[in-house]
Amino acid sequence: MTPQEEILKLEAENAAMLVKTNAVGIVGSIAGLYLANRQQKNTWGKICYFFGGGYVARLSMALLYTTKLANNLARIQQLKIQYNL
């Protein structure tokens, strides 16, 4: 595998992780809104639950992927320096 191919592969993995994180965040936002409706919250309560649900869901996914994302970025940087890309 050439360095360019490895960089593209690592960048694709990073993009896939970000897409998964955002997808889970959207589900968390919808779940927060559903919970707010079930608890009969007012408009501001629904807004807070919407953003809070998305934040909690994204945070959990970010913690799950932090190490892998950092390792991929470090490897990309190493390859770019090593091969002058």
Is residue 3 assigned to a domain? Answer: no
Percent of the chain at pLDDT > 90 equals 98
Is residue 45 assigned to a domain? Answer: yes
Question: Tell me: the pLDDT tens digits for 19-58?
Answer: 999 999 999 999 999 999 999 999 999 999 999 999 999 9
Global confidence as pTM:
0.85
Residue 1 is predicted with a pLDDT of: 87
Is residue 4 assigned to a domain? Answer: no
Is residue 5 assigned to a domain? Answer: no
Residue 85, pLDDT > 90, answer no
Is residue 26 assigned to a domain? Answer: yes
The tally of domains found in the chain comes to 1
Structural domain containing residue 18: 11-83
> Do 57 and 21 meet the contact criterion of CB atoms below 8 Å apart?
no
Once rounded to an integer, what is the mean pLDDT over residues 60-82?
96
Is residue 71 assigned to a domain? Answer: yes
Is residue 6 assigned to a domain? Answer: no
Once rounded to an integer, what is the mean pLDDT over residues 69-78?
97
Residue 22 is predicted with a pLDDT of: 96
Residue 81 is predicted with a pLDDT of: 96
